A and B are shown apart, each in its own frame.
Chain A
Amino acid sequence: MSNNLGSMPLRYRVTIDREQCMECERCIENCSYGVFRRDGDRILINSRKCTACHRCLAYCPRDAIMLEEQPCDYRSHPVWTRATREAIYNQARTGKIILAGMGSVANLPIIFDHLMLDACQVTTPPTDPLREPVELRTYLGKKPSRLDLRRNPDGDIELATELAPNLMVETPVMLGHMSYGAISLNAQISMARAAKETGTFMGTGEGGLHAGLYPYQDRMIVQVASGRFGVNIDYLERGAAIEIKLGQGAKPGIGGHLTGEKVSKDVSRTRMIPQGSDAISPAPHHDIYGIEDLSQLVRSIKEATEWKKPVFAKIAAVNNTAENVAAVARSSVDAVVIDGFRGGTGAAPRVFRDHVGIPIEVAVASADRELRKQGLRNEVSLIACGSIRESADVVKAIALGADAVYIGTAALAAMGCRVCGNCYQGLCPWGIATQRPDLVERLDPDVASKQVANLIHAWTLEITELMGAAGINSIESLRGNRDRLRGYMLDEGLLDVLDVKPVGA
């Protein structure tokens, strides 16, 4: 034995109510982690392999399976928490950087939950969305800061200002970038269909554009990341917009890599790298080491696509986000995406996931404020992402200054994801974060696309109701309208940064 630590206490314990169980073996079929196996007339359980993905529970016809988290206690201690102790055991054994799946698990207050929305009472009337239109349509891209008008020989006023290309979304909720490779093609197709159906857009992630998505390409925002996987002129021309990924909220300042095992034949074709080779995305774009290099990359993309497509840039929310956004706004970029520190990911070093970055609420508010201060707000649209969980978060993000949001984990959850955080294993029993054909097959795009579309519809309805209650019938009247927010139990410094008044004020 190379260490004296033995095995760790179980993370989850799975039990079967033998009274209920009819030994149909659906749990054995469904659990891709191999927790269940049949031995004679009994189903045996190896709880150590369980990830709490809930697939077995969801498909047990008798509700016979029960799952318990952390069935074994450590001595409770406020400093030496279970997580810190287990990290030490892990690193004492391996000497390596700990990677973890999904977003931050740091137990910090969520600002969204401390922001309350406003509604009209007597001094102004609410709008009834059943009777009156409430416009959610949003245009993403550069807006002129003033108009150049001229009178034609007939005396009519004509517009002389040339409008920059904008993306039109019917609802301010878009589907964020999750690459083919990180998630399955069926998951991408499901989301693409949902985007088409709901009049929104979806990000490709940095894995290129699979031919199966060509039918939806006018709904796709193609990403250019530091690895430049799948990026060529054809790819750029197919996308409705192009997004340069400069950072990611879950792991600001570092790159990532897709391990060779996940680079299947099909993934390799889309990323344009050999099958089975690691796909390494360096931390910076190695042609961008300064802000003027970003303008150079943006303009090279615009030159290549003849200035016909909006170009977005995505950055992680960090200390000087406001200055970063203001810098990006001068680079010919049309929209800036800000990804908060709670953003999801297939894999990120635990120490980054839980310790680096700032919340999206603060980042959006300070970016919006700085852009206004510098007279640049019309130069770019702002897209917020990184832990947008429900329609109220969307409304709050917009009131803090965003034009629209990207959702990631929420869309995956709509397809069945239970946020088990084991995407890296490539065995996702829901057919989402996996390339194993039998698992991918479990996710039927006809069904899953409907679920994602349902979610967007439902949120859209809720946003409409919330806006109506606030007497706002057009989304641009909500944008940056912090007067319609109040902070509940937020400290003065934070309220100041958010530019939001406390409840009761």
Chain B
Amino acid sequence: MCGIFGVMDKRRQMMDGSGIRQALSIMNERGSGEGAGYAAYGIYPDYRDCYALHVFLDNACESKAVVDATLEQWGAIEHDEAIPTYDQPNLRAPCTPWRYFFRPDPSLAPGSATPEKDVITNLVMQINRASNGAEVFSSGKNVGVFKAGGAGSWPEAVADYYRIEDYEGYIWLAHNRYATNNPGRWERPDPFNLHDWSVVENGKITTYGTNRRYVESFGYTCSNFTDSEVITYLIDLLVRRHGLDINLAIRALAPPYWEDIDQMPKTEQDLNRALRFAYGSATMNGPFTIVAANPDMMVGFTDRGKLRPMVVGECGDCLYISSEEAAIRAMEPNVESIMMPAAGEPVIGRVAP
């Protein structure tokens, strides 16, 4: 459900948040004004080696004490502060957005190839699973999510509430929510983030139950009940923990039809069959377009029946992925090329190393 947008500068040139605010608000018609959010990579250069934890605190005293204590168990807090916000006339904040710059203790995940990320994963799950009035809603290095829900959360209002034009990033994702349940929950709108990965989705998967049970069997806990949460964990599982290239991970999530696999040359056929064998429970069904990012790339892909729109634009070093072309043009009137990729043709943009 909703409208999504992503932009990436391949040469890490910084963009402030005003452009994406403009782009997202062109698609207001796709939302219900009850949730919007933004994610940006590269916004915390001063703390580039710390994990930036964005947390909604139901209250800045007790809930914060819980988070402080948990973080101190798992590592060291370098710095923490309230995320600056600016009151908007129709937007009511039921919680306080806070941020921590945090160094996880890698010795707490012995035997892991990515101990820091395992620690972050565990502590995010631990905090979010409990009813402690705290929700971690982004947790990556040099990345941050800014989002809000409830009446009055139109894209512009949310952008202005956080003044996202004060942040500069080289990848931005944005999402405009059409609420169907729990409209007032601030953690509900996309982007969803877990350390490296951020995800925005347009659509609704019909496989939520299957995918969730699958990913939970690997130790993830889904407590946000959104598609994007499950998708983020699936990507983290397949890419970081199972070592699949992003191409193949996307293929596992939205695989070709058996009919098409039958037509492939033998080795490709074997690979694709094996992917479907191994990751059948990770396959996502139903209408969706997903844009995901990590510090090195931005990707976009649709369900295999291409039931949701995805428009891709390019201009100079910038790659745009959007639900509607008008949004790309709102941000970059001189966009050089516009395409509509086919189902099964993921768009993968990588940042120059």
Contacts and interface: CB of A to CB of B under 8 A. Distances in A.
Q: Does a CB–CB distance below 8 Å link A and B in the complex?
A: yes
Interface of A: 289-292, 295-296, 299, 323-324, 326-327, 330, 370, 374
A354 B351 CA distance: 54
Interface in B172-227: 178-181, 183, 202-204
Contacts of B203: 289-290
A291 B178 contact: yes
Interface residues of B, number: 19
Nearest to A374: B183
B30 A323 contact: no
Given A295-B29, A330-B32, A289 B307 contact: yes
A374 B39 CA distance: 27
Given A290-B204, A292-B2, A292-B30, A330 B308 contact: no
A292 B287 contact: no
A323 B2 CA distance: 15
B308 A290 contact: yes
B1 A290 contact: yes
B178 A289 contact: no
B93 to A, nearest CB: 18
Contacts of A292: 1-3, 29-31, 178, 202
Contact of B308 (A289, A323, A327, A370): A289
Given A290-B1, A291-B178, A330-B179, A296 B29 contact: yes
Given A290-B203, A290-B204, A290-B287, A327 B180 contact: yes
Contacts of B29: 292, 295-296, 299
B92 to A, nearest CB: 13
Given A289-B308, A292-B2, A330-B32, 16 more contacts: A289-B307, A290-B202, A290-B203, A290-B307, A291-B180, A292-B1, A292-B29, A292-B30, A292-B178, A292-B202, A295-B29, A295-B178, A299-B29, A326-B179, A327-B1, A330-B179
B119 to A, nearest CB: 36
Most chain B CB within a 10 A radius of its CB, from A291, A299, A370: A291
Contacts of A299: 29
A323 B204 contact: no
Contacts of B204: 290-291
25 contacts: A289-B287, A289-B308, A290-B1, A290-B287, A290-B307, A290-B308, A291-B1, A291-B180, A292-B1, A292-B29, A292-B30, A292-B178, A296-B29, A299-B29, A323-B180, A326-B179, A326-B180, A327-B1, A327-B178, A327-B180, A330-B32, A330-B34, A330-B178, A330-B180, A370-B181
A344 to B, nearest CB: 28
Q: For the complex of A and B, list the 10 residue pairs with the smallest distance between their C-beta atoms, beginning with the closest.
A: A327-B180, A289-B307, A292-B30, A330-B32, A289-B287, A291-B1, A323-B180, A292-B178, A323-B181, A291-B178
Contacts of A296: 29
A140 to B, nearest CB: 22
Contacts of B287: 289-290
A374 B184 CA distance: 9
B240 to A, nearest CB: 30
Interface in B60-104: none
Contacts of B32: 330
Contacts of A290: 1, 202-204, 287, 307-308
Interface in B1-54: 1-3, 29-32, 34
Contacts of B179: 326-327, 330
A326 B178 contact: no
A324 B181 CA distance: 9
A323 B226 CA distance: 14
Contacts of B180: 291, 323-324, 326-327, 330
Contacts of A326: 179-181
Nearest to B181: A323
Q: Which of B2, B29, B32 has the most CB of A within 10 A?
A: B32
Contacts of B307: 289-290
Nearest to B182: A374
Nearest to B305: A289
Contacts of A327: 1, 178-180
Interface in B150-179: 178-179
Contacts of B308: 289-290
Contacts of A323: 180-181
Contacts of A370: 181
A239 B172 CA distance: 47
A178 to B, nearest CB: 30
Contacts of A374: 181, 183
Interface string B251-287: 0000000000000000000000000000000000001
B301 to A, nearest CB: 16
Nearest to A292: B30
A295 B2 CA distance: 11
B188 to A, nearest CB: 13
B311 to A, nearest CB: 15
Contacts of B3: 292
Interface string B300-323: 000000011000000000000000
B36 to A, nearest CB: 14
Contacts of B181: 323, 326, 370, 374
A299 B287 CA distance: 21
Nearest to B31: A292
A323 to B, nearest CB: 5
Contacts of A291: 1, 178, 180, 204
A68 B91 CA distance: 68
Contacts of A289: 203, 287, 307-308
A374 B149 CA distance: 13
Nearest to B32: A330
Nearest to A324: B180
A152 B181 CA distance: 41
A370 B183 CA distance: 11
A464 B63 CA distance: 55
A326 B178 CA distance: 11
A370 B307 CA distance: 28
B183 to A, nearest CB: 6
A433 to B, nearest CB: 34
A70 B29 CA distance: 58
A323 B188 CA distance: 15
A291 B30 CA distance: 9
Central interface residue in B31, B180, B183, B307, by most chain A CB within 10 Å: B180
Contacts of A330: 32, 34, 178-180
Contacts of B31: 292
A291 B2 CA distance: 8
B23 to A, nearest CB: 16
A324 B30 CA distance: 16
A379 to B, nearest CB: 11
A291 B178 CA distance: 8
A289 B178 CA distance: 14
Nearest to B289: A290
Contacts of B2: 292
A370 B180 CA distance: 10
A330 B32 CA distance: 7
A290 B307 CA distance: 8
Nearest to A291: B1
A299 B203 CA distance: 19
A299 B31 CA distance: 13
B224 to A, nearest CB: 16
Nearest to B176: A292
Nearest to B33: A330
A52 to B, nearest CB: 40
